Structure 1
Amino acid sequence: MQAKWMKPSNVLLVTLVAGSVALADTDAVAEAPVWDLGDPHLSIIPRTAEEAARIAAVTAIATDFTTPHRFEEKPAGAATVRAMTNADAFSQPSGNITFEDQLDFRVGNGLFRKLWVSSPSSTLASDGLGPLFNARSCQRCHIKDGRGHPPENANDNAISMFLRVSIPAPTDAQITEIQDYIATLPDPNYGSQMQDFAVQGHASEYRLDITYDDELVMLADGTEVSLRHPTYNAADLGYGLLHADAMLSPRVAPQMIGLGLLEAIPTANILANADPDDLNDDGISGRPNVVWSVEFDQPMLGRFGLKAGSPTIMEQSAAAFAGDIGISSPLFPAGAGECTAAQTVCQNAIHGDGDDRGTEIDAEGMDLVTFYSRNLAVPARRDADDPQVLHGKEVFYNSGCTSCHTPSFVTHRLEDQPEQSFQLIWPYTDMLLHDMGEGLADNRPEARATGQEWRTPPLWGIGLTEQVSGHTYFLHDGRARSLLEAVLWHGGEAQVQRDAVTEMTTADRDALIRFLESL
C-alpha cells in the first residue's frame, strides 16, 4: 500500500514531546514523532479555558475512598441506562437518545442482526454472504452485543472467535508518514483473516483447533489458581499451506457498549497519557497506535480493536463486514470480501453487488449500523457505595491499576452527536498500547503495535459479562475463566500490579474483584 499525505483542514497537529502533548505548528516540529491526529470524523465545538479547568478537576484521580466519586454511578454520563437484570443489558440505546433517533437505532439493530444469504438469491437486500465467512451476521459474533468466547469443547464451533494472519513485509511497504509503523502483508493464500465457514460449493479456509496446558499459581494466602495456556492450530487447511512466516493471532469478539463515547474522547487527552519512554519512571509506557485511515486517507489515532488497529466505528464496522461476513461496503467494495487472488473460485463467484445498492451493504446501511454501534448504552454501576466495593476501589487505585485503566474522561462537545457530547465518562481505559509480557503475546504486529502490545480494554460493564454472554471468559482470546485469572495473566508493564495481587490478603483481593464486578 502506497500511502499519500493529505493535510485535512480543522485538525489538531500533535507532537509527542517528553511524554506529553504540545500543540505546535509545522515550523516548530523537530525530530519528535509527528502525525496529523485530529478528529476529522467529529464536528467539534472547541472547549473554553473555563471548561478545561472544570474537566481537569472532575477527572482528577480519586484519593478519598469513603464514598463514591461524584457522578461515578453513571459511567456514560447522561447516556447511561438502568442496569437490566437479563441478557439484554448491553442492547439498550443511549439513555439520552431522542424518540426520533430510536427508530434509526432499531433499524441499525436490524441490520446488525440480519442473517445474510449467498448469491444469487431472490432476497436481493440480503444476498452477498461470503463466499468465505466467519459468521452470517454481526450479532452471531457479538452475541447480545457482548463478549464472544472460545470453543467450549471439540464439538463447539468458533463462531465468535477467529485467527488474524499476516506475514512480514519488505521495508518498501512501510507507511512512511507513520513513524515506527511495522509493515505486514496478508498471507498470499489466506489473506488477513482466517474464515472457517463457506457457502455451498466453496471450501472453508480452516478449522480452529485449541489445546490447553494448565499452570498452577499459588497466592500468598494459600489459594491455588489454575491458568490455562492455549496453543492454536489452523487445522484442515482448505487452500494450501500457510506462508512459512505466517503470524497467527486469536481474537474473541469484544463487547460493544460505549463505543461512541470512546470515539468522542479528544485525541489530545488520550495522547496526554502516553509515556513511551517511561519518563516518569513508573514502569508504564503507554503508546498510541497510529493507523492509516481508509475512510479519511490520513494517519489517525487507532481506537478500536484489541490492538487499536482501527480509527473509527465506521471503519471498524466496514472492515468486520468484509472480513467476518464477506459483505462489501463503500469503504471495502470488493465483492469477494477477504478472498485472496489465489482463491480464484471465490473471486469468480457471483456476488451480491450487481443491483442498485452498488455494494452489498450501501452507504445508508453502513450509517445505520454505525449509529447503532455508536449508541449501545453503558449500564449504570451497581453497589458503588457498598463498603466492600469502596475498599476494592481503593485497592485498585493504590495498586497502580489506574496507570493504564484511566478512570474518566470528558468527551468532545459535538454539534451533531448530542448523545456523546460533553459527557463525563468512566471507561477505565487509557486507549493506549501496553507491553503485556510474553505470556499474553501473540507475536503479530499491527500498525505500530508490537507482538506483545495490546490496547487497554475498557472495564465498564465487565461485571455483567456472565449475565449477558453466559460465561466469564476474558482477555483477547478468552483464556481467562475469571477476573482473577485475567489479572494473573498480566505481565510486562503490569507485572508489578499482578505481583501485588498475588501477595494480597484474601479480604483485599476479594474486595478488588467485587469492585471490578461493580463496573
Structure 2
Amino acid sequence: MVTRAALWGTMLLLGACSKGISTDDLLQPNSGGAMTVSESSRHAFSRPATNLSVAQRGEFFIGNAFFNSPWVVAPASASARDGLGPLFNARSCDGCHNNDGRGVPPLKEDEQPVSLVIQFATSTPGDNNEPQADPNYGVNFNPFAIGGVPPEGKLRIRHRQIAGTYADGTPYTLLAPEYLLEELAYGELAADTKLSPRVAPAVFGSGLLEAIPEQQILERNDPEDADKDGISGRPNYVWDPLVGRAVLGRFGWKLNQPDIAHQTAAAFSSEMGMTSSFRPQEICMPVQTECVNAPTGGQPEISDEIFDHMVSYQRMLAVPVRRNLDAPEVKRGAKLFLDSGCESCHRASFKTGNVEGQPWLSGQTIHPFTDMLLHDMGEGLADGRADFAASGSEWRTSPLWGLGLQKTVNGHTRLLHDGRARDVSEAILWHGGEGERAKEAFRNLSRQDREALLKFIDSL
C-alpha cells in the first residue's frame, strides 16, 4: 500500500532529481566558500572574511564601528554622527540587526518595535511601479521621535491561535498576528493604505548574494510553471534612480532593493530618519510640522565616506562554517530536505562572478539555500502590499545559511517575514501557495523523520 507520505515524497523527489541535485550538494561545509569562518559563538555572524587583505580588514573594522554605534540628535559636537530622526525606529544598525543577525518582533505587550518595522503603501503604485507612501505617515511607521516631535503612534500585536496536527496525530499550534496601530498622532491612515510588517533580516553573507550573476538567478525563473513542479519562482525588477532603469531586486523581504547600498540607504531613511546621497530627502510628511521644522545633521546627514565604510563592512561579513555534517541523522535529514522539495526554492548552491575591486567575493562557490526569487506563499502569509512586481502574497526565499546559530547569536528562534514562527517547524507549517507541497511532505513525515530534517537545517 502506498501511503500519502510516500506519495508526496516520490512526487517531490522526482522534481528535485530532475534538477541534478544530490545530497552531497546539501552537505558542503563551507557555505561562504573562501569567505567561511570557523565560528559558532554569539559572534558567528560578525566576523570578517578570512580572505581579506590587511587593508581590507582595516576597512572592515571602520565600518563595523559605524554599524554598531548609535546615532545622536542634531546638532551635536560629534557632527559625523548626528542627524538621528526626527522620527525613527532604531538608533543604530545593530539595533535592528543585532550581532549582524535576525531581528525579532516585540515579545511583550507594551514593547514597541525596533527590529520589526511596519511598511506602508497605497493600493495604487506610482511612477516606475514604485509603492506610494501613506499621505500622513510616509513609507514606515515610526514609534519613536526626538524631543519636541510627536512619535507617530504605538503598535500593538495580538495573536490568534491556529491548531493543527501532523499526520501521525501530534498536535501543533501556530500564532497568526494582527497588527493594531493606536494613538496615531497625525490623523488616520488613508483608507487604501496597506500594512506590511517586516523583521530585520540577517546581513552576514550579503556581499556574496550581491555577487551572484543575474543569469544564475534567472536559471530557475519559471513564472508560468513550465516544468509543472508547482514552483513558479520569478524575479522582482525594481527602479534604480542612479542608472535610470529597472534592475534585478536582490534584497528585502520582497526583493525590493537592488544592492546593499540601496538597502542601507533605505534603512537609514525610513528607519532612522537620516539622509544620504542615495536618499537626500527627509521623511517628514507635510502634516508632521514639528518633524519638518526639526534641526538636521547637514545635507546629507551621513557623509559619503561613512556610508561607503558601512556598505563595505556588509560586503566583507563572513559566513559561519557548517556543523555536525557527519552525523547520520543530519545526512538523513539532507535526503528528506531534498525529497520534500525544499531545495526547489531553497537552492543549495551558486557561484559568484568576478567582482571588480572586491576579489574576496569573486569566484566563490557558496551555499546560501535561497534561489533569490519571489514565490507566492499563499493567503496565510499575505500582507496585501504590492512592492514593484511583487504581489501581496509573494515573498523572497529567505537564505537558510547560519540558521542553526540564530539562537546562539540573537537569543531567539523567531522566523518568517514578521517573526510569527517561533521555530523552524512553525515556519515550514506556515508555507502555503507554492510551498504547500513541501509543507505537506513535512507534515506527513514521522516524528523521527521530522527531527532528522530539523537536525539538517540546524547544521546550516
| Correspondence list, 1:42-441, <5 A | 61-63=20-22, 65=23, 68-69=24-25, 72-84=28-40, 86-169=41-124, 173-175=126-128, 181=129, 183-334=130-281, 336=282, 338-353=283-298, 358-441=299-382
Q: Aligned pair in 2 of structure 1 residues 502, 128: CA closer, same or farther (>3 Å)? A: same
The residue number in structure 2 matching 1:18 is none
Q: Runs (4+) of structure 1 moved beyond 6 Å? A: none
Q: Provide the rounded CA distance (Å) in 1 between the counterparts of 2:245 and 2:336.
A: 42
TM-score normalised by length of structure 2: 0.94
| Correspondence list, 1:422-501, <5 A | 422-501=363-442
Q: CA RMSD in A?
A: 1.4
Letter in 2 for 1:201: G
Q: Provide the rounded CA distance (Å) in 2 between the counterparts of 1:140 and 1:453.
A: 27
Contact 1:274/1:286 (CA < 8 Å) preserved in 2? Answer: yes
Contact 1:295/1:315 (CA < 8 Å) preserved in 2? Answer: no
Contact 2:102/2:202 (CA < 8 Å) preserved in 1? Answer: yes
Q: Provide the rounded CA distance (Å) in 2 between the counterparts of 1:144 and 1:413.
A: 29
Contact 1:162/1:208 (CA < 8 Å) preserved in 2? Answer: no
Contact 1:205/1:237 (CA < 8 Å) preserved in 2? Answer: yes
Q: Provide the rounded CA distance (Å) in 2 between the counterparts of 1:254 and 1:518.
A: 19
DSSP 3-state at the match of 2:445: coil
Q: Provide the rounded CA distance (Å) in 2 between the counterparts of 1:377 and 1:100.
A: 16
Q: Provide, for residues 191-249 of structure 1, a one-character-per-residue CA deviation record: whole Å limited to 9, x for no partner.
A: 01111100000110121110001111111122211100100011111111110111000
Letter in 1 for 2:21: A
Q: CA deviation at 1:123?
A: 2.0
DSSP 3-state at the match of 1:209: strand
Q: Provide the rounded CA distance (Å) in 2 between the counterparts of 1:443 and 1:89.
A: 35
The residue number in structure 2 matching 1:5 is none
Q: CA deviation at 1:394?
A: 0.3
Q: Provide, for residues 165-211 of structure 1, a one-character-per-residue CA deviation record: whole Å limited to 9, x for no partner.
A: 010226xx342xxxxx4x53100000011111000001101211100
Q: CA deviation at 1:61?
A: 4.1
**Identity, % of aligned positions:** 46
Q: Provide, for residues 442-475 of structure 1, a one-character-per-residue CA deviation record: whole Å limited to 9, x for no partner.
A: 1101000000000001100011110011001000
Q: Provide the rounded CA distance (Å) in 2 between the counterparts of 1:69 and 1:255.
A: 23
Q: CA deviation at 1:349?
A: 1.4
Contact 1:429/1:457 (CA < 8 Å) preserved in 2? Answer: yes
Q: Provide the rounded CA distance (Å) in 2 between the counterparts of 1:135 and 1:444.
A: 23
Contact 2:194/2:385 (CA < 8 Å) preserved in 1? Answer: yes
Q: Provide, for residues 122-181 of structure 1, a one-character-per-residue CA deviation record: whole Å limited to 9, x for no partner.
A: 2211111100000111000111111111111113331111100010226xx342xxxxx4
DSSP 3-state at the match of 2:360: coil
Q: Provide the rounded CA distance (Å) in 2 between the counterparts of 1:414 and 1:119.
A: 38
Q: CA deviation at 1:273?
A: 0.9
Q: Aligned pair in 2 of structure 1 residues 419, 71: CA closer, same or farther (>3 Å)? A: farther
Q: Aligned pair in 2 of structure 1 residues 119, 415: CA closer, same or farther (>3 Å)? A: closer
Q: Aligned pair in 2 of structure 1 residues 71, 512: CA closer, same or farther (>3 Å)? A: closer
Q: CA deviation at 1:295?
A: 3.3
Q: CA deviation at 1:83?
A: 2.2
Q: CA deviation at 1:69?
A: 4.0
Q: CA deviation at 1:402?
A: 1.1
Contact 1:208/1:234 (CA < 8 Å) preserved in 2? Answer: yes
Letter in 1 for 2:73: S
Q: Provide, for residues 357-413 of structure 1, a one-character-per-residue CA deviation record: whole Å limited to 9, x for no partner.
A: x41111111110001111111100001121111110100111111111111000002
Contact 1:71/1:77 (CA < 8 Å) preserved in 2? Answer: no
Please identify which structure carries the higher helix content: 2
Contact 1:229/1:479 (CA < 8 Å) preserved in 2? Answer: yes
Q: Provide, for residues 304-344 of structure 1, a one-character-per-residue CA deviation record: whole Å limited to 9, x for no partner.
A: 0000000010110011111111111111112x3x2112222
Contact 2:110/2:156 (CA < 8 Å) preserved in 1? Answer: no
- Matched length: 442
DSSP 3-state at the match of 1:168: coil
Contact 1:104/1:368 (CA < 8 Å) preserved in 2? Answer: yes
Q: Provide the rounded CA distance (Å) in 1 between the counterparts of 2:244 and 2:287.
A: 28
Contact 1:83/1:381 (CA < 8 Å) preserved in 2? Answer: no
Contact 2:26/2:334 (CA < 8 Å) preserved in 1? Answer: no
The residue number in structure 1 matching 2:7 is none
Contact 1:61/1:407 (CA < 8 Å) preserved in 2? Answer: no
In the alignment, structure 1 segments of 5+ residues that lack a partner are 1-59, 176-180
Q: Provide the rounded CA distance (Å) in 2 between the counterparts of 1:315 and 1:69.
A: 32
Contact 2:134/2:190 (CA < 8 Å) preserved in 1? Answer: yes
